Each structure stands twice: as C-alpha cells, then as structure tokens.
Structure 1
Amino acid sequence: MITRVRAVWRDALALLFALTDRRTPAGAKLMAALALAYALLPLDLLPDLTPILGVADDILIVPTLLALAARTLPAPVLTQAQTRSLSVQRRLPWLIPAAALTVLTLLSLLGWTIWRALGS
C-alpha cells in the first residue's frame, strides 16, 4: 500500500513540475487545470453526498484527465520532471504522509461543512 501511495505521489509531483515547464503544451496545462477544478469545486456530475457513486466519479474522472495531460507531455519534459520528483521524494520523505493527512483533513472538513449546511 505504501509503495503504491509513493508511486502515485511521485507521478503527481512529476506532473506538477512538468506543468510549470514552459515547454509543456497548453492542452496538457488545460487538462490538469480541469482535473484540479473538478476535484476541488463543489459541482460534480454526481453529488458527493450520493453514497459511493458521488466519490466514484471523482475517482474516475480526475485521474483520467491527469493521465491524458501526462500523455501530451514531451518526453524530455516528462523525464526531467520525474527526476526532479524523485529528488524531492528522497529529500523530503515526510512530505508523503503529511500531504495525505492534509488532504484527508480537508476532505473531512469539507464533508462536515456540507453535512452541517444541508442539515440546518
């Protein structure tokens, strides 16, 4: 499980580094921005409060958009970004659990806030 989380974190960090590169095509930047917006904005195809299906659309759509963005990257940009990502991962091993905890905390707070707003 930890190995899988590290791999996902490495790839996400590499994509972030690649998107800041000026050689990255605009289409890749747009797809990554759409994935981020879809993940963060409260507007979804299926509301998150719908049991299982509400989160399932996020789990399918966001990684698909990110994978499409990664596929449009030039090979030198992707290679350089992956090397940079591995370097950060080696220097900051605490970053993975800290990021996971932060994301889980923010999602919990968001869910609690929505639940309270709908319950009032």
Structure 2
Amino acid sequence: MKQSAWKKWARELKKNTYALYLASKDSRVPWTAKIIIWFVVAYALSPIDLIPDFIPVIGYLDDLLILPIGIWLAIQIIPNAVWLECQITAEKESLSLPKNWRAGIIIICIWLLVIGGFLLWAWPL
C-alpha cells in the first residue's frame, strides 16, 4: 500500500471514530451498538495501547485489527440513516478527539491483572 493510501485509511479511521462518537449520543442507536461504540471509542482515544507499539509486529496489531473490526461491528448494528448523518457531521466538523485517560487507566489495570496473575501462577508455593 502506498503512503498516500495509508494516510487516506488513517483519515477514514479517524473520521469513522468521530462518527461513532456522535452515534453513541443518538437515541436511535440500539444499546448493543452503544456498548460496542463506547469500547471502540474509549480504546481509540486511550493514550495507552493494550499491546504496546514497541513490541515488534504484534504491537501494531491492535491498531490494525482491533479498531477496524470494532468500528465495522458497530457500523453493522447502527441504523443506516443514523450512520450516514453521523458520517456527514464528522466530515463537516472534522474535530480532533481528546485523549481518554479513563480508558488508559482501565488498560493499565488489565495489564496489572495479567502480570499479577502470571506472577501468582509462576511463583513457586
């Protein structure tokens, strides 16, 4: 994929994330979609990744797989008319989304639980 294609893909991902944020506030969106949207948007805005980017190869898998799959899944549940409205609004506003430190704290807690569980499992009793 050329660099311009990557940039276009990244812009679309950012626009769709903002459109999902807008959809999460719409009363016409089912609660199941809102739950998925909250997880996707929180993860996208989190300053901390579930899999840190410095880990070779798999460090970027969350950005390349988890977010697009979550966005795709949420879009499938959102009514088409609502999704189109949110996309148009996201395109017009093109606001930057703030970092979500609450999601970052949750990811830190997940890592601490994983590390703690591993230490308890590996520690000889």
TM norm structure 2: 0.57
Partner of 1:7: 12
Q: Are 1:85 and 2:78 matched, yes or no?
A: no
Unmatched tracts of structure 2, length 5 or more? 100-125
Partner of 1:62: 67
Partner of 2:28: 23
Unmatched tracts of structure 1, length 5 or more? 90-94, 104-120
Distance in 2 (CA, whole Å) between partners of 1:57 and 1:85 is 23
TM norm structure 1: 0.59
Change (3 A) 1:59 1:81: same
Change (3 A) 1:55 1:76: same
> How many correspondences in the alignment?
93
Q: Are 1:35 and 2:44 matched, yes or no?
A: no
Partner of 2:80: 75
Match of 1:31, as an amino acid? I
Please provide the CA RMSD for this pair: 3.1
Change (3 A) 1:74 1:54: same
